[in-house]
């Protein structure tokens, strides 16, 4: 199976991020980091790069900020609910699902928050849609293939 999500992806833009973070009661420190990244990509298109490595059974996400490795998820199995940390650093039950060669989904359920994040590739664009459980507030981030 071809894994079109594999590769390095440069963050291009992000919309409605603040409203989404407010809806999921995101910790202020994480919100500040992400909002700073959104500002930095306006002047430095290589500021934020995600490197995705998928196999039929696992995903590995490495996040680079200004060329420096900031986060390495390690190999995360698909279709296994894990007690781990959410994307914003809070304890949560997290599940990654490989929906198709062009799409994967992450669900997170924690104390007072829940999210569903969809990663979907069309051509050389990856669209990441974060949706808050309950209120439906969304944040959409676009990446271009490096």
Q: What is the pLDDT of residues 5-45, one digit of tens each?
A: 999 999 999 999 999 999 999 999 999 999 999 999 999 99
At residue 34, φ and ψ (nearest 5 deg) are: -70, -45
Query: Which are the contacts of 114, defined by CB distance < 8 A and separation ≥ 6?
Result: 24, 107, 108, 132, 133, 134
Average pLDDT value over all residues in the chain: 95
Which pLDDT score is estimated for 3? 73
| Distance, CA of 77 to CA of 123 (rounded, Å) | 25
- Res. 146: pLDDT tops 70: yes
Gyration radius (Cα) of the chain, Å: 14
Token pair belonging to 118 = 């969809």
Q: What would the pLDDT profile of 38-75 be if each residue is shown by its tens digit? A: 999 999 999 999 999 999 999 999 999 999 999 999 99
pLDDT band at 82 (very low <50, low <70, confident <90, very high): very high
Q: Tell me the pTM.
A: 0.93
d(CA 32, CA 7): 27
Residues, the chain, total? Answer: 146
Residue 46 per-residue DSSP state: T
What was the pLDDT predicted at 2?
57
């Amino acid at each position: 199976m071809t894994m079109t999500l594999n590769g390095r992806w440069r963050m291009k833009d992000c919309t409605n991020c603040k409203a989404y973070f407010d809806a999921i009661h995101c910790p202020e420190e994480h919100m500040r980091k992400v909002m700073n990244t959104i500002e930095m990509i306006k002047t430095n298109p290589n500021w934020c790069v995600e490197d995705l490595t998928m196999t039929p059974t696992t995903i590995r996400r490495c996040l680079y900020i200004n060329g420096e490795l900031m986060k390495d998820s390690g190999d995360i199995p698909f279709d296994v609910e894990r007690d781990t940390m959410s994307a914003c650093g809070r304890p949560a039950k997290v599940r990654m699902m490989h929906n198709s060669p062009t799409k994967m989904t992450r669900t997170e359920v924690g104390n007072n928050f829940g999210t569903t994040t969809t990663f979907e590739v069309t051509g050389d664009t990856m669209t990441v849609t974060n949706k808050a459980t309950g209120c439906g507030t969304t944040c959409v981030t676009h990446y271009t293939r490096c």
